[in-house]
Amino acid sequence: MGQTWIVPISMLVSFIVPIIFLGLLYKLDVYASCKFALVIACFLWGAIGSSVLAYYLNNVALPFLCPRLLGKAAFVGVIIPTIEELLKSLAILYVARRSEFTYFVDGAIYGFATGIGFAISENLYNVTQYPDQSLPIAMLSVLSTNLMHGTAAGLVGVAVGRMRFQKRVGKGLGLLGGWIAAITLHGAFNAVTQSRALTQALQTPICVGIGLAGLGLIALFISLGLSEQKQWIGDTLDRRVGVTGGEARAAQSYDKLEELLEPITMQFPQKTEQVMALVLCQAQLGIKRKVQERLEDSQQKSLLAQEIEQLQTEMEQLRKAIGPYVMTYVRSVFPEGTLNPWARMDLVAAQTGPADVQKWAKMIAAPRDNDATATPRRSIFGQLNAQSGHPTDEEPK
């Protein structure tokens, strides 16, 4: 491989690897509360807007003044982190005012996207400035500097999302706390890279460790936020919004729904995607209802009311497309709890349903091992009721 290929490959590494990390975090948002368009907008602000402004301030406007007054260590460890984190956070402050922003899960992802965009621009600049060392610089940066920038901006997003339901003073304190955490992390990282007391052999693993630990921290925040959103779904989805208890529990278990729907995928494969879309709509409805309850801004409440109405319309359209027989199975996977409406549903389906439903109902209650003399299996409905402790008259006879 010729020398001329090193810089292009380094630039490719500098771009693709951070995008992969961002994609992994974005995939954690199982309820898809983050809007892809806003993730891209935050990424572009980090890559273009904040990076250009930061470059001008760090390299043109301030170097003539700050290093002489504060010294190089303070400039690198305090001034630069402060400037960069404040600039990156402007994107987060913008999306936090939109109705699409729900909770700190969104803040973590939007913030991380902003930081990753900023880091990619910084990487590309460094790679072109030092072409002879471009590949080592790129490989080290994607595991350290990139993740540090993403984590720092993500911390601001978490703070803004966590405190967005507070009154104005609480929101301000949350934002201040996020800035302090981001600037402290950034400053500590810069201090390690500039330290004369640490050899290169020590600096490299420390910087990579900070980067990977930061990525894990943001993933942890997202996981905690999703757990809280599951509770919101259980609190807000009920028959008043046209959602049964079984459907609400399906929404809470959306991340495992594909596995639970395997039997229906085998019998009605064309319906699986519609069922998944319906349950996702219901989960988003529950989350948005909770957000609407907790918000104080009347304009944002009004925008959320419109989105909630749209989700309910979409839910009704999906229910009609799915049909009552398939919805019966979906609800049976997550029984109502105190009620027991599904105890003999398989018998009803087998006797009165269309041919494909009769075949499905008979299949799940067929004798074991194709032995005609064997005791019939308890149907899936009977199994679910037995497991949940509900009495059933469907014991094998």
Has residue 390 got a pLDDT over 50? Answer: no
pLDDT in tens, 9-61: 999 999 999 999 999 999 999 898 889 999 999 999 999 999 999 998 887 77
- Which of 303, 293, 311, 307 lies closest to 98, judged by CA? 303
At a CB cut-off of 8 Å and minimum separation 6, what does 172 contact? none
Bridge partners, residue 230, by sequence? none
Written as six digits, the tokens of 324 are 């009552």
Helices (H), the chain: 6-28, 36-44, 51-56, 66-70, 72-74, 80-95, 104-129, 134-143, 145-163, 168-194, 200-236, 245-252, 257-260, 262-267, 269-294, 298-322, 324-333, 345-352, 355-364, 380-387
pLDDT in tens, 268-289: 788 888 888 998 999 999 999 9
pLDDT in tens, 147-161: 999 999 999 999 999
- Determine the average pLDDT of the residues in 217-233: 93
Has residue 131 got a pLDDT over 50? Answer: yes
- Determine the average pLDDT of the residues in 249-260: 82
| Identity of residue 394 | E
Report d(CA 216, CA 21) in Å as an integer.
11
Written as six digits, the tokens of 265 are 């995928």
pLDDT in tens, 163-213: 888 877 878 888 999 999 999 999 999 999 988 888 888 999 999 999 999
Has residue 122 got a pLDDT over 90? Answer: yes
* 375 or 235: which leads in pLDDT: 235
- Residue 94 burial class via C-beta count within 10 angstroms: exposed 0-12, middle 13-18, buried 19 and up: middle
Q: What's the mean pLDDT when you consider all of the chain?
A: 81
According to DSSP, residue 366 is labeled P
Pair 287, 233: CB distance under 8 Å: yes
Confidence of residue 381 (pLDDT cuts 50, 70, 90): very low
Share of the chain above pLDDT 90, in %: 44
Has residue 310 got a pLDDT over 50? Answer: yes
- pLDDT, position 97: 86
Whole-prediction pTM value?
0.79
* 241 or 182: which leads in pLDDT: 182
- pLDDT, position 33: 87
Q: Which of 42-46, 298-302, 388-392 has the highest mean pLDDT?
A: 42-46
- Determine the average pLDDT of the residues in 106-118: 96
At a CB cut-off of 8 Å and minimum separation 6, what does 118 contact? 46, 47, 50, 51, 54, 84, 88, 149, 153
Written as six digits, the tokens of 283 are 């989960």
Pair 13, 139: CB distance under 8 Å: yes
Pair 353, 346: CB distance under 8 Å: no
SS3 195: coil
Report d(CA 331, CA 336) in Å as an integer.
8
Report d(CA 161, CA 225) in Å as an integer.
10
Residue appearing with tokens 């069922």: 275
Confidence of residue 136 (pLDDT cuts 50, 70, 90): very high
At a CB cut-off of 8 Å and minimum separation 6, what does 50 contact? 84, 87, 88, 90, 91, 114, 117, 118
pLDDT in tens, 338-347: 333 333 344 3
Share of the chain above pLDDT 70, in %: 80
Q: Which of 256-260, 288-292, 350-354 has the highest mean pLDDT?
A: 288-292
Has residue 118 got a pLDDT over 70? Answer: yes
Confidence of residue 356 (pLDDT cuts 50, 70, 90): low
- Determine the average pLDDT of the residues in 228-234: 90
| Identity of residue 154 | G
Has residue 217 got a pLDDT over 80? Answer: yes
